[in-house]
Amino acid sequence: MKTLLTQLSIATALLGIVAPAYSASISFRPAGQQLDSDPMNDLGVSVGQQFTFFLSIDTTGLSSNLKSFTYRITRDNTEILLEVATITPEADALFTRNAISDIPTPPSLTVGTVLYEIKPGETFAPDSQLDFATATYVVQPGLVNDGLADYQIELIEAIDEQDNNITSQFVTSQTLDLQPVPEGSSTLGFLALGTLSAASTLKRKLKPSQKDKTTVLN
């Protein structure tokens, strides 16, 4: 039984590499990975580094079209500072984006709340995945490995076409602890890494020219 469970978890992990989102969810990439003993996922970055989160909504398993969703981003300004956040062209074709509030919260957090509403005549069907926003940050001198969330997304409310609140059908939150990486490993921070093997493969492939290209694309 234990072997079967191990195989199942390995299979799940493998599936996760191909299709990270396997149920209705709100999420971001890079999701990081476990780099230490505290339970939160970690991402190694360097002070001064610019990087981009890709925010995604997944409606796998829902039974009705999604009409609107409201989410909250909490970020720690001592470790990462927001440069710019924008709706993606793909999402802009379907949704209107309304920034509801962006509130500094002592000692160092800012909490942003955003509402996406489907445009008239458009639909966002079940079993769809959409990168709906990008958010570019610069890593700050306060970067530290403290096991606390530096970046968190929470789905506050999801409403379907029949005006039902379907929030409970989603995986509604994800967190990440940014932390320093040793010299020479900073390229890891540019990537969404699922596994250590993926990390080593990608790290080998990441030539300086590609790194520059990544930055420009962001």
Measured from the CB atom, the residue of 34 and 210 that comes closer to Ca ion is 34
Kindly report whether the peptide bond that precedes residue 30 is cis, defined as omega within 30 degrees of 0: yes
Angle value at C-alpha 124, between 122 and 128, nearest 5 degrees: 145
Pattern 147-186, binding to Ca ion, x per CB under 5 A?
---x--------------------------xxx-------
Q: Where are the alpha helices (DSSP H) in the chain?
A: 2-18, 89-92, 196-205, 208-217
Secondary structure (3-state) at 109: strand
Among 38, 83, 90, 212, binds Ca ion (CB under 5 A): 38
Q: Which amino acid is at 149?
A: A
Question: Should residue 36 be labelled a site residue for Ca ion when binding is judged by CB under 5 A?
Answer: yes
Among 40, 91, 118, 191, binds Ca ion (CB under 5 A): 40
Measured from the CB atom, the residue of 47 and 99 that comes closer to Ca ion is 47
Binding piece for Ca ion, criterion CB under 5 A, among 41-49, 88-96, 117-125, 197-205: 41-49
Minimum CB separation of residue 146 from Ca ion in Å reads 5
Measured from the CB atom, the residue of 114 and 149 that comes closer to Ca ion is 149
Measured from the CB atom, the residue of 36 and 83 that comes closer to Ca ion is 36
Minimum CB separation of residue 116 from Ca ion in Å reads 28
Minimum CB separation of residue 137 from Ca ion in Å reads 12
Please list, in sequence order, all residues whose beta carbon lies within 8 angstroms of the beta carbon of residue 138, skipping any fewer than 6 positions away.
48, 49, 50, 80, 81, 83
Which stretches of the chain are assigned E, i.e. beta strand?
Answer: 25-29, 42-45, 50-58, 66-76, 80-87, 95-105, 109-118, 129-139, 151-160, 173-180
Compute the distance between CA of residue 70 and CA of residue 167 in angstroms, rounded to an integer: 10
Compute the distance between CA of residue 145 and CA of residue 37 in angstroms, rounded to an integer: 11
Minimum CB separation of residue 98 from Ca ion in Å reads 30
For Ca ion (CB under 5 A), the number of binding residues is 8
Measured from the CB atom, the residue of 65 and 77 that comes closer to Ca ion is 77
**What's the Cα-to-Cα distance from 51 to each of 78, 182, 191, rounded to whole Å?**
16, 17, 9
Measured from the CB atom, the residue of 150 and 160 that comes closer to Ca ion is 150
Site residues (CB under 5 A) for Ca ion? 36, 38, 40, 42, 150, 177-179
